[in-house]
Amino acid sequence: MSGTSAEAGGDLMADLVVTAAQLVAGERDGNLHIRTEDVRMSKRGSGSIGDSRIIAGLIIEKKLELDRLPKSLDAGKVLVLSCPFEIESTIRDVEIEVEDPEKWVSFMDAEEEKLQFKAQQIISSGASLVFTAQGVEARILHTLADAGIFVLGGLERAGAEDIALATGAQMIDHLDDISQDILGDFSELKIEILEGAEGRRERIHLLVGLQTGIATIDVGGGDGVASEEVIRGLYDALCSVTSAMETGEVLTGAGSLHMAASLAIKEAAENHPGRERLAMEAFARALESIPATLGENAGVNRLDCLLELRALHRAGNSEAGVLRDGKAGTITEALASAETISHAIEAACETTCGLLRVDQVISARGD
């Protein structure tokens, strides 16, 4: 995260990234597999970057439909649906003339009975949290609230699928399909209310625990460009961490590998008398641009930094790199994913070859 806005968070942000990756880690074909998409980033919109934290679950920002819904719940079951809690309306408009008031009352009673039946199906399931991607009829909402059940409707389908993934629930599209097998689990639910320039914000913290399918990094600080930069830095760090965890291969960072490779290529170039030697020497100089840039960013003359680093490597210190103060020294903390470094070098080579081909085409045309 060095060189990004996330660096201001220090070791805290690094710990959050590693913890998030460990929470969503799983297996595929007998090997460790981590989906970076299962780690979400949420902007808290208040406090400072030091207030950032990890949530073993999800943070849902949505206004509650009823103020007297439970604001805090302990461990229980979760029900996730994609069907509405409403009376199904007909496709065509139908007019019914009722001459007897008792028949009108019977119509209303039948509707109420249907709604109460739907509510009772949910109550009987044993779920204390209910989420749906459709609307919730007000009478059902009040009935479930009276039973101490938290209900949240009107979610996007993707949001409902995230809740199902995090809690281990199975999203169903009909109340008749409710069974104990499709229910998920949660460890705690709490509502956080924040007041800001844009008004009141209600954030639902759905904590699942170590078995969660999704982890969320709640990034503290303002809700602006600064937070976006922090999240971008965290995501880059997350990709490197997951790559290192999956492959189990890390290399010394801080320009150490690039300098070692540069010197090795220069030595190998001595055995090539032809033009290949010029290309190899140019490639070696390009690799040295990484430690040179690191030193320059730290406020040190890039040439002095390169000379010191070369001397250390030629003296046998293969783990020498650029320290935080820009000076050359032994690296003990900065590690980089071998796959990330390999991909970066390959991408740079492919880009260079592409530019050279374009240059050759232009030269051949005589432009």
pLDDT of residue 118 exceeding 70, the answer is yes
**How big is the CA angle at 129 (ends 126 and 134), to the nearest 5 degrees?**
115
What's the length of the chain?
Answer: 367
Measured over the CA atoms of residue 103, residue 105, residue 107 and residue 113, the dihedral's sign is negative
Amino acid at 248: G
Amino acid at 332: T
In order, the DSSP letters of 24-57 are T-EEETTEEE--GGGEEEEE--SS-GGG-EEESE
What's the rounded mean pLDDT across residues 174-198? 83
Pairing type for strands 26-28 and 53-55 reads unpaired
pLDDT of residue 166 exceeding 80, the answer is yes
Residue whose entry in the numeric block shows the structure tokens 């709604």: 115
Q: What is the mean pLDDT of the chain?
A: 80
pLDDT tens for 35-76 read 878 888 888 777 777 778 888 888 888 888 888 888 888 888
Host H or E run for residue 144: helix 138-146
Q: Quick one: residue 242, left, alpha or beta (phi over 0 = left, psi -120 to 50 = alpha)?
A: alpha
The DSSP letter of residue 88 is P
Determine the CATH number of domain 252-365: 1.10.560.10
**Domains of the chain by residue range:** 252-365
**Cα dihedral value 244, 236, 160, 68, nearest 10:** 110
Higher local confidence (pLDDT), 121 or 112: 121
**pLDDT band at 364; cut points 50, 70, 90:** low
pLDDT tens for 236-290 read 888 888 887 877 777 777 888 888 888 888 888 888 887 888 888 888 888 888 8
At residue 215, the 3 state secondary structure works out as strand
Burial 337-358, CB ≥16 within 10 A → b, else e: bbbbbeeebeeeeeeeeeeeee
**pLDDT band at 82; cut points 50, 70, 90:** confident
pLDDT tens for 304-355 read 888 888 888 888 887 888 887 778 888 877 777 788 888 888 888 888 888 8
pLDDT of residue 171 exceeding 80, the answer is yes
Contact 324, 298 (CB under 8 A): yes
In the prediction, which pLDDT does 362 show? 67
Burial 50-59, CB ≥16 within 10 A → b, else e: eebebbbbbb
pTM of the full structure: 0.70
